[in-house]
């Protein structure tokens, strides 16, 4: 398939329509080889020498992601954290980075505990405010602005086009963790971002059975070449079977995300009316501070992630979580099954997650079952 005139949902369902040239198989084989034969004249004309640098099982998922994001190239990594770390590692020492105060806590804590020790200077800002971003960048000194939108766990929204303009004016690049938005709902590169990262563990795979990460670049420039070298040199590579499972999961990305969005909107509206819920944080609600920007930059839905504030504080939130039966009490997100968690418990002492907050990842079950289960759990926790 050329992909030029086809809807991304079609490209995704058929994984670009690739078939195996030698057998006609509609699913490509999983390549397990760690090494590749040299030509007699000592060259590697087929382009591959060793499995840590390159793996044929990555070609199709990487090409599909590149098509979905509208980028120049993509890389699979062994986890979302490995993908993000490869970007920061590749910036070089003494770089100043701007990052959001509200972001995936694991990456925030890695930036605080490791990146600074390597000589990167990280400035955390309120990334929902373009003024705050503008004040945080230092022209000629800032190398990278990192944003996440919608961002864990408040689902704060950053204006991607505005952030790109600020980063570029300062001579910096914009990288974005688009895990919660997915390529279905947001195309960050078209809005001016330079690099898109996903924890493919979440919606891209969608079945809570693979840990993986991805990066997609707008250009195959010098930084991208350093990132490619960081993956093969550092060795944060995905296994061949995991790459196969990831592609299998990606084929149903569109229907999964579309259903999760529709259910999430319905669930958010229902929970707003529950007496034990003091507020619902979901970009699809007009009351959410990021609603207007999300409406502008998200396509066809606001995602499957939301959080609720439970009346009665941390104890009431934990007690409600204890009562659910259909929702599973577990961390992570973006799977076909709905998950719920008391975020402050996992993030630890220095967490900015409010103590009364439960994070919800809406799956593809019947939304009325999900609403009834959570409403009962909130009532029982009284």
Between 80 and 188, name the residue whose CB sits nearer to ligand PLP.
80
Which residues, 87 to 106, sit near ligand PLP by CB under 6 A?
A: 104, 106
Q: Which of 188, 213, 301, 303 binds ligand PLP (CB under 6 A)?
A: 213
Q: Decide if 52 is catalytic.
A: yes
Q: How far is it, in rounded angstroms, from Cα 218 to Cα 66?
A: 9
* Residue whose C-alpha is closest to residue 248's, from 103, 64, 113: 64
Torsion sign (Cα): 115, 116, 120, 126: positive
Least distance (Å) between residue 230 CB and ligand PLP: 16
Q: Decide if 225 is catalytic.
A: no
Q: Decide if 104 is catalytic.
A: yes
Q: Please, are residues 31 and 238 in contact by the beta-carbon 8 Å criterion?
A: no
Which residues, 140 to 199, sit near ligand PLP by CB under 6 A?
A: 148, 152, 177, 179-180, 199
Buried b (16+ CB within 10 A) or exposed e, 277-299: bebbbbbbbeebebbebbeebbe
Q: How far is it, in rounded angstroms, from Cα 202 to Cα 334?
A: 4
Which residues, 358 to 377, sit near ligand PLP by CB under 6 A?
A: none
Between 333 and 378, name the residue whose CB sits nearer to ligand PLP.
333
Torsion sign (Cα): 210, 77, 182, 320: positive
Position with the least CB separation from ligand PLP = 80
Which residues, 103 to 142, sit near ligand PLP by CB under 6 A?
A: 104, 106-107
Q: How far is it, in rounded angstroms, from Cα 118 to Cα 343?
A: 29
Instruction: Count residues near ligand PLP (CB under 6 A).
Output: 17
Q: Which of 108, 143, 187, 202 is catalytic?
A: 202
Could you tell me which stretch among 15-23, 36-44, 79-87, 122-130 binds ligand PLP (CB under 6 A)?
A: 79-87
Q: Please, are residues 169 and 138 in contact by the beta-carbon 8 Å criterion?
A: no
Q: How far is it, in rounded angstroms, from Cα 357 to Cα 342?
A: 6
Could you tell me which stretch among 42-50, 78-86, 87-95, 358-366 binds ligand PLP (CB under 6 A)?
A: 78-86
| SS3 at position 98 | strand
Least distance (Å) between residue 39 CB and ligand PLP: 37
Catalytic sites, residue numbers: 52, 104, 177, 202
Q: Which residues bind ligand PLP (CB under 6 A)?
A: 79-81, 104, 106-107, 148, 152, 177, 179-180, 199, 201, 211, 213, 332-333
């Amino acid at each position: 398939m050329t992909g030029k005139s086809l809807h991304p949902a079609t490209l995704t369902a058929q994984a670009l329509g690739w078939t195996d040239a030698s057998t006609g198989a509609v699913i490509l084989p999983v390549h397990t080889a760690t090494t590749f034969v040299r030509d007699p004249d000592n060259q590697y004309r087929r382009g591959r020498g060793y499995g840590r640098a390159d793996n044929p099982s990555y070609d199709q998922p990487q090409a599909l992601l590149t098509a979905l994001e509208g980028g120049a190239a993509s890389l699979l990594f062994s986890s979302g954290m490995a993908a993000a770390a490869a970007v920061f590692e590749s910036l070089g020492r003494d770089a100043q980075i701007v990052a959001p105060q509200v972001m995936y806590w694991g990456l925030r804590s890695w930036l605080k505990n490791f990146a600074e020790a390597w000589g990167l200077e990280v400035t955390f800002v309120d990334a929902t405010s373009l003024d705050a971003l503008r004040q945080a960048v230092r022209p000629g000194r800032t190398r990278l602005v990192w944003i996440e939108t919608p961002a864990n766990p408040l689902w704060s929204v950053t204006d991607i086009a505005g952030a790109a303009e600020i980063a570029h004016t300062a001579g910096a690049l914009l990288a974005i963790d688009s895990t919660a938005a997915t390529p279905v709902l947001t195309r960050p590169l078209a809005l001016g971002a330079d690099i898109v990262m996903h924890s493919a563990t979440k919606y891209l795979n969608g079945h809570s059975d693979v840990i993986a990460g991805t990066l997609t670049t707008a250009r195959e420039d010098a930084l991208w070449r350093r990132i490619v070298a960081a993956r093969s040199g550092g060795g944060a590579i995905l296994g061949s079977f995991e790459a196969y499972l990831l592609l299998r999961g990606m084929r149903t990305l569109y229907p999964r995300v579309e259903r999760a969005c529709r259910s999430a909107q319905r669930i958010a509206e229902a929970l707003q009316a529950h007496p034990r819920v003091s507020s619902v944080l979901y970009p699809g609600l007009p009351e959410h501070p990021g609603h207007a920007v999300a409406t502008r930059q998200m396509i066809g839905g606001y995602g499957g992630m939301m959080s609720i504030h439970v009346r009665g504080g941390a104890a009431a939130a934990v007690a409600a979580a204890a009562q659910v039966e259909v929702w599973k009490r577990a961390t992570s997100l973006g799977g076909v099954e709905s998950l719920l968690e008391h975020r402050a418990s996992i993030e630890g002492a220095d967490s900015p997650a409010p103590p009364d907050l439960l994070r919800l990842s809406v799956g593809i079950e019947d939304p009325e079952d999900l609403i009834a289960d959570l409403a009962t759990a909130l009532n029982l926790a009284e």
